[in-house]
Amino acid sequence: MSNSPESADETQIRQIIHEWRDALCARDLDRLMQYYSPNVVFFDAVPPHVHRGAGAYRRTWENMFAFLPAHLGSEVRDLDITVSGDLAAMHCLQRLINADTHEAATCGWVRVSVTYQRTDGQWRVIHEHVSVPFDPATSQAVFIREP
Amino acid sequence: MSNSPESADETQIRQIIHEWRDALCARDLDRLMQYYSPNVVFFDAVPPHVHRGAGAYRRTWENMFAFLPAHLGSEVRDLDITVSGDLAAMHCLQRLINADTHEAATCGWVRVSVTYQRTDGQWRVIHEHVSVPFDPATSQAVFIREP
């Protein structure tokens, strides 16, 4: 992250990231989806290799909720935001946790890259890429326990 | 992709993507690295989960060349480019091939997301994320054979 003072646009993106997390932890998908373009292209950590459109993105969370702890939390590390014009790019490490025990939910830390586009004054996600690496010798996913 | 006419900036990004491929297939890392910021953050398909800086990025290709066919080719599908101000975002599917046999090299298609930033009139990659998904039941990487 640069040491320059944060722009108003960066502050907006940071706010959206916070609100996204709050909406997810509240399992409020209507609130979550307000930050997504109808045409979002999503590369998820698990198959299929691409989801196209906000409806498909939403269904990934609907399907995921059964596997998540009742009291859900989210942690972010190494957050980096770059904004210019009507485009913003973010990358970070993120993990879902059991907010009661602070233990990792799902596979632990994942790498997240997000592109936001501002249309009619509203920033929305047009692309999201979530993954863990794999070991080329075994083809096993390599989970990120302590980044 | 939108149907609107391509902007000069989009044309530049498309040109860089072509030149990147030509430099890679020529194994010319000096030429390849001219498109990278010194501070690029790289999430590769294989561990470690993050590489920081152009030197670390370059070494991933140096280490990879021993495993690649002598006559290297690269294919791109579903390329999408968005540009605003001094920021550009690209995502696509990409695979390396044996240019003689047209067979896949490495693991086949990978998902690629790249962020470019223009500084002093020159577009450079500030973030690159390459991955395949994994099967949550087996933790095995799920290779993308025919996207």
When CB atoms are compared, the residue of B80, B126, B144 closest to A49 is: B144
Kindly state whether residue A58 falls inside one of the protein's structural domains.
yes
8 Å CB contact between A125 and A141:
no
Q: Name the pTM for this structure.
A: 0.96
Model pLDDT for residues A96-126, shown as the tens digit of each residue: 999 999 999 888 999 999 999 999 999 999 9
Kindly state whether residue B49 falls inside one of the protein's structural domains.
yes
pLDDT at B146 (0 to 100): 80
Let me know how long chain B is: 147
Kindly state whether residue A1 falls inside one of the protein's structural domains.
no
When CB atoms are compared, the residue of B87, B93, B131 closest to A131 is: B131
Between residues 85 and 144 of chain A, which touch chain B (CB distance below 8 Å)? Answer: 85-89, 91, 93, 107, 109, 111, 113, 115, 117-118, 126-127, 129, 131-136, 139-144
Q: Give the strands of the sheet with A87-98, arranged side by side.
A: A51-52, A36-43, A122-131, A110-119, A87-98, A72-84
A107: Cα separation from own chain's centroid: 14
Q: What CATH number does the domain containing A112 carry?
A: 3.10.450.50
Model pLDDT for residues A57-106, shown as the tens digit of each residue: 999 999 999 999 999 999 999 999 999 999 999 999 999 999 999 999 88
User: Based on the structure, what is the number of domains in chain B?
Assistant: 1
pLDDT at B54 (0 to 100): 98
Kindly state whether residue A3 falls inside one of the protein's structural domains.
no
CA atoms in the 13 A half-sphere facing the CB of B131: 35
Residue type, A19: E
Distance CA A112, CA A41 (A): 14
pLDDT at B1 (0 to 100): 46
In sequence order, the 6+-apart residues with CB closer than 8 A to the CB of B86 are: A84, A85, B117, B118, B119
Q: pLDDT band at A131, cuts 50/70/90?
A: very high
Kindly state whether residue B145 falls inside one of the protein's structural domains.
no
pLDDT at B107 (0 to 100): 87
What is the pLDDT tens value at each position of chain B, 147 positions in all?
Answer: 445 678 999 999 999 999 999 999 999 999 999 999 999 999 999 999 999 999 999 999 999 999 999 999 999 999 999 999 999 999 999 999 999 999 998 889 999 999 999 999 999 999 999 999 999 999 999 999 887
Full domain range(s) for residue A32: 8-131
pLDDT at A147 (0 to 100): 78
pLDDT at A145 (0 to 100): 84
Q: Is the pLDDT of residue A1 over 80?
A: no
pLDDT at B4 (0 to 100): 64
Residues of B in contact with A139 (CB under 8 A): 140-141, 143
Kindly state whether residue A141 falls inside one of the protein's structural domains.
no
Which residues are registered as beta bridge partners of A110? A94
pLDDT at A4 (0 to 100): 64
Q: Would you tell me how many other CB atoms lie within 10 Å of the CB of residue B83?
A: 24
Kindly state whether residue B25 falls inside one of the protein's structural domains.
yes
Q: Is the pLDDT of residue A13 over 70?
A: yes
Instruction: Look at B89 and A89 and tell me if their CB atoms are within 8 Å.
Output: yes
Model pLDDT for residues A30-59, shown as the tens digit of each residue: 999 999 999 999 999 999 999 999 999 999
Kindly state whether residue B1 falls inside one of the protein's structural domains.
no
Q: Is A131 exposed, middle or buried (0-12, 13-18, 19+ CB in 10 A)?
A: buried
Distance CA B88, CA A144 (A): 29
